[in-house]
Amino acid sequence: MNISGKTKILGVVGNPVSHSLSPAIHNYCYQLMGVDAVYLPFEVKEGYLKEALDGFCFLLNMVGFNITIPFKEAAVSQMDISGKEVEAIGAVNTVKRGEDKLIGYNTDWLGFRDSLRVNGVPKPKSTLVIGAGGASKAVAYALLEMGVEKLWVTNRNPTRLEIFLKRFAGFEPVAWDVDAISKVLPEVELVVNTTSLGMDGVSLPPVDVEKLPKNAVVYDLIYEPEKTPLLKNAEEAGLRTVNGLDMLILQALYAIEIWFGKMPDFERVRAYIKGEGKNASG
């Protein structure tokens, strides 16, 4: 990578960001596309989001950047212009610098939607979303846009669940209880875990996968570890599983399209990130 005075600067804003896969994804994509750009992680202290966004775009002259935890929701009010999906989801994950404006987008929902397609998962007739936090909202918006007929959501925190249901009235709440959840599981074709349960390699949401129909798919937004306890249990029950890596890659490709008007080949990027194509040249 050759850095010059003409090199465009992009990055990811969050806290923490030191372990983010986004720089590896984006910098490889720029190499593939022949774009003179570099993508860097920027760790911002809470309470300094506005100063950071203004500084990045109007002092560093950045083309744009991604926003990750914990700033996706707080960033909405900092945008001068936002896409309709931002208003619906209530979160921004991609920002483009206009001449004197910040333009906000959300590509997470596109990443989730397309991750089903690339994994050969047909549009489900019914879905259970586990969790009602920030990540769940992009998933919920995608499911509604896809026209999924029957939607349930469960969450540990009743207050957060209530906020979710006010935004997404098409969902039916289910108590955070293995027995209550088990009652709906026989009708569920897709389960999506949007919580951090399983990131430690031990914890599990209260979902008895044995109660799911044999054609059900279990999806976990977590990609590290590659197989959470939920996914392991689902595989042992003979069910198809998907983790969150493809969603991460696809939301990045959509952000790149917003910034540069084009995107590289998904399969090639996925192979590189999975370690199968690290010797690939651009």
Written as tens digits, the pLDDT of the chain (282 aa) is 788 888 999 999 999 999 899 999 999 999 999 999 999 999 999 999 999 998 887 778 899 999 999 999 999 999 999 999 999 999 999 999 988 899 999 999 999 999 999 999 999 999 999 999 889 999 999 999 999 999 999 999 999 999 999 999 999 999 999 999 999 999 999 999 999 999 999 999 999 999 999 999 999 999 999 999 999 999 999 999 999 999 999 999 999 999 999 999 999 999 999 985 444 433
Amino acid at 217: V
pTM of the complete model: 0.94
Round to whole Å and give the CA distance between 278 and 257.
23
Q: Give the count of beta carbons closer than 10 Å to the beta carbon of residue 282.
A: 12
**Radius of gyration of the chain measured on its C-alpha atoms:** 19
Round to whole Å and give the CA distance between 281 and 276.
13
Round to whole Å and give the CA distance between 85 and 104.
10
Could you give the residue numbers annotated as active site? 72
On the 0-12 / 13-18 / 19+ scale of CB atoms within 10 A, 160 is: middle
* Contact status, residue 41 vs residue 20, Cβ threshold 8 Å: yes
Long-range residue pairs from 155-160, CB within 8 A, at least 24 positions apart, any chain: 155/130, 155/131, 156/195, 157/132, 160/132, 160/133
CATH fold of 8-106+249-273? Rossmann fold (3.40.50)
Tell me where in the chain the CATH 3.40.50.10860 domain(s) lie: 8-106+249-273
Listed residue (101, 75, 76, 79) closest to 88, CA to CA: 76
Tell me where in the chain the CATH 3.40.50.720 domain(s) lie: 110-243
pLDDT at 282: 31
Round to whole Å and give the CA distance between 154 and 177.
9
Alpha-carbon 208 to chain mean position: 25
Does the domain formed by 110-243 have CATH 3.40.50.720?
A: yes
Query: Tokens 């989801």 appear where?
Result: 89
| DSSP-assigned beta bridge partners for residue 130 | 154, 193
Output b/e per residue, 201-234; b: 16+ Cβ within 10 A: eeeebbbebebbeeebbbbbbbbeeebbbbbbbb
Listed residue (97, 41, 29) closest to 67, CA to CA: 41
